[in-house]
Chains A and B, each alone.
Chain A
């Protein structure tokens, strides 16, 4: 059995009488593409030795919509709705990265109020996205009720975005030069109230799941990604921070208004198990929500009256050249590589998606895990297939 010697299970295996003559073989199991634990249409081909994974091969592309090809035939404003549809759980952050890249090429000045609104919606979106993670991850591991709690609060954010932009998931709200619509004082007060209740709620949620004995034993020591491996694969976001390395683009390469704000970067500590396990990644996300709330409070204190749209010409033509700009999204770093040939359409638009990178780590993490632990690992890296396949 090649798989045995590869992954070192042969020493532990008890050989019963007569079993040495049995013909054993690896069993191939397809997880997905329609499987609730893969969060979308990911297909993982698993070669298993009884319950232990010997090899996991991800097959992608079930949600491939040729976004990059489409963008070559759209003008620069027309691309924004397409970016929404990549990571549909964090559409605001997707728009923000793209818009920042275009604005940097155009050297557009964005009104301060617009920047504040962008920061508020992006951080709210980060909370909504992490709440989604919290709920679905608990479901993956067999707990149903946290999902309902998480969705109550997420619902507030989606309703607020609906008031702001007219849509619940795919907003097209952040535009080149500013934002589409101004935020009202009433809405700001609502957000302020939400921040007050949310801090308490998050603590409650954490006790409900994070300290639960079953949850800890399912996630601690499981799916360990250490710093070396994270660098090797180019992992970013909570996966990298979960491995104990402090790296947040909002701190390290600040964009927008982020250099103004005071917040911490939570990193994994190996509190319940070893550094870089599933529990660390979970814990990083939970603590990140508190930091997002901090940023939102500072925004609410600092926001000032003014216009929300800067001066942008009707037809946007980017100067010749190219740009690669990374922003910190809920799932990791999102990069846009835009190549412009001076016309009103991008010559090439390449999206660096963090989820795509994280899926590519699966074959390296999976060997030796139990199948149920693989589910826990996939859940903890929190992929959205829309962003993986684009």
Chain B
């Protein structure tokens, strides 16, 4: 099935360089050139292959290769087929996001999917009608699903990860600490440091007496 599609794409779109690939297990995919993505999608949709629904746009970050991969998973309800279409984009940096042409004009369902991909991986979809973040707050910075993402320290004057709420090393599951090794199981060992600036309430008069 995939070889048929590859032939079709290469015949229809000049310079798409479609090629199949498969891992050691699982599904096979078709990889195309990023510049030709829109034409490829258009051809696949308006043909006898009839990919009439876009299932999902799923981005994957490969920092070692300085690339971001965007997977367009297409499906056809009429032919009962499914296809993973891949493009690879240069990873860019904060000022220059990776760019690919939006497919919203082909499938309206791409609208939210591309917004999510932009939100999570910082892929700029050219020609998207409304490219805003969708899951994170609109004024969030950074792209969380990139592998080198570090969460911002403050958001609207609130500390994002306050130290006293984070998992301290000694409470982490499987941590090799003395209370886990059985030296002492006293409740004292489970004590957590109070948050910075926290003052214990003064004992009231009644409790003193």
Residues of A within 8 A of B (CB): 60-61, 64, 66, 68-69, 104-107, 231-235, 245, 247, 252-253, 318-324, 326, 333, 335, 337-340, 342, 347-348, 350, 352, 356-357, 359-360, 364, 389-390
Contacting pair B134 A60 (CB below 8 A): yes
CB distance from B142 to the nearest CB of A (A): 12
Alpha-carbon distance between A69 and B25 when the two chains are bound, in angstroms: 23
Alpha-carbon distance between A56 and B141 when the two chains are bound, in angstroms: 26
Interface size class, chain B: 35 or more
Alpha-carbon distance between A68 and B26 when the two chains are bound, in angstroms: 20
Alpha-carbon distance between A208 and B73 when the two chains are bound, in angstroms: 42
**Are A348 and B24 CB-contacts (below 8 A) given A252-B80, A337-B73?**
no
Contacting pair A319 B107 (CB below 8 A): no
User: Which 5 pairs of residues, A with B, have the shortest CB-CB distance?
Assistant: A321-B23, A234-B109, A360-B112, A323-B26, A319-B24
Alpha-carbon distance between A104 and B27 when the two chains are bound, in angstroms: 10
Contacting pair B77 A350 (CB below 8 A): no
Alpha-carbon distance between A389 and B26 when the two chains are bound, in angstroms: 27
Segment at the interface with A among B52-60, B178-186, B201-209: B52-60
Task: List, in ascending order, chain B residues with CB within 8 A of A235's CB.
Answer: 109
Closest to A253 in B: B80
Residues of B within 8 A of A (CB): 22-27, 29, 52-56, 58, 60-61, 71, 73, 75, 77, 80, 82, 84, 107-109, 111-112, 116, 120, 133-137, 144-145
4 additional A-B pairs beyond A232-B108, A234-B54, A319-B26, beta carbons within 8 Å, are: A234-B55, A247-B77, A321-B22, A337-B58
Contacting pair B145 A69 (CB below 8 A): yes
Contacting pair A324 B135 (CB below 8 A): no
Contacting residue for B145 out of A68, A104, A252, A333, CB 8 A: A68
Task: List, in ascending order, chain B residues with CB within 8 A of A340's CB.
Answer: 23, 26
Task: List, in ascending order, chain A residues with CB within 8 A of B109's CB.
Answer: 232-235, 357, 360
Task: List, in ascending order, chain A residues with CB within 8 A of B133's CB.
Answer: 61
Contacting pair A318 B25 (CB below 8 A): yes
Closest to B106 in A: A232
**Are A107 and B145 CB-contacts (below 8 A) given A234-B53, A335-B56, A352-B55?**
no
Contacting pair A350 B56 (CB below 8 A): yes
Contacting pair B25 A357 (CB below 8 A): no
Task: List, in ascending order, chain B residues with CB within 8 A of A326's CB.
Answer: 55, 82
Alpha-carbon distance between A104 and B26 when the two chains are bound, in angstroms: 7
**Are A339 and B60 CB-contacts (below 8 A) given A61-B134, A321-B24?**
yes
**Are A319 and B23 CB-contacts (below 8 A) given A61-B135, A350-B58, A389-B135?**
yes
Closest to B78 in A: A231
Alpha-carbon distance between A64 and B109 when the two chains are bound, in angstroms: 20
Closest to A354 in B: B55
Contacting residue for A61 out of B60, B108, B136, CB 8 A: B136
Contacting pair A107 B56 (CB below 8 A): no
Task: List, in ascending order, chain B residues with CB within 8 A of A245's CB.
Answer: 77
Alpha-carbon distance between A278 and B55 when the two chains are bound, in angstroms: 23
Task: List, in ascending order, chain B residues with CB within 8 A of A347's CB.
Answer: 60
Contacting pair B73 A348 (CB below 8 A): no
Task: List, in ascending order, chain A residues with CB within 8 A of B135's CB.
Answer: 60-61, 64, 389-390
Contacting pair A234 B25 (CB below 8 A): no
Contacting pair A337 B137 (CB below 8 A): no
